[in-house]
Amino acid sequence: MKNVLLAGLLLFAGCATDVKVEKTAADLKAGDRFPHEIWTGVLKRINKGGFIDYKALIADRKAFDEYLGFLAKYSPSSHPALFPRREDAMAYLINAYNACTMRGVLDRYPLASVKSEAPAGNGFWINSAYPLGPNETFTLAQIEGKLRDMGDPRIHFAINCASLGCPRLPEEAFEPDRLEEQLERETRKFVNEERNVQVAGGTVRLSSILKWYRKDFREWQAAHGQPDDLLAYVRAAGREVPAKAEIEYLNYDWGLNEQKPEAGK
């Protein structure tokens, strides 16, 4: 029993417990829009092409904590009337994953990589839990699991694990009314970056994301009557690759996606 209690305390120690949700999150009612624009404002200030100025966020995190406060006070499970559509829930979870990832970095800053934490380098995703809705906390792994259960593999091009190998974090929040457009945009952007898809003769080298989550792409293709073919998925997303080729997977860069200081500063 002592071990169980200690494990619970260690998990809770990673929670965003200093977010004053009653003071930072205004009351929302059915029909109101969840204020993802707060997250957009944060991203426009500290995000340049997917590289994050963590020092600037640490220096001024008022808006960031305000958004965390809204995430902590409302969720699709606690306030379903605020999230009537699948797009509402999915946008919430994508933004929550990205914001909580950033919170996880700030809680550990400075760090070189999110992949350095025990156990087995996966601690960043399982050691800390974040409040989403009242009286509930979720690890990043659990938030990702909720998104994967929604059956759209494009989420893997929208969520960002604060690493250089990840999809670049866009400079705006994901919004329910634009979610389809944004997911398509980020998917096309990802497969058309040379760092993620490389063609050399009869070989196509793909980001390891397509290997790690192969099951999600396979299930989506099966559900849409398409063959189990990663290259076909990449082509449909807008990248020209051979119809038949040997597939290899690229090494993943786990370095932190931090902006480098400008020369002379």
Q: Break the chain into its structural domains and give their ranges.
A: 2-194
Residue 25 is predicted with a pLDDT of 78
pTM of the model: 0.91
Q: Where are the alpha helices (DSSP H) in 149-239?
A: 179-191, 209-212, 214-223, 230-236
- Average pLDDT for consecutive 10-residue bins of the chain (265 residues)? 35 42 72 97 98 98 98 98 98 98 98 97 98 97 98 98 98 98 98 98 97 98 97 97 96 97 61
Three-state secondary-structure class, residue 258: strand
Pair type for strands 137-139 and 51-52 = unpaired
Pairing, β 203-206 against β 197-200: antiparallel
Digit-coded pLDDT (tens) for 27-82: 999 999 999 999 999 999 999 999 999 999 999 999 999 999 999 999 999 999 99
Per-residue confidence (pLDDT) for residue 26, from 0 to 100: 85
Angle at 14 between CA 10 and CA 15, to 5 degrees: 120
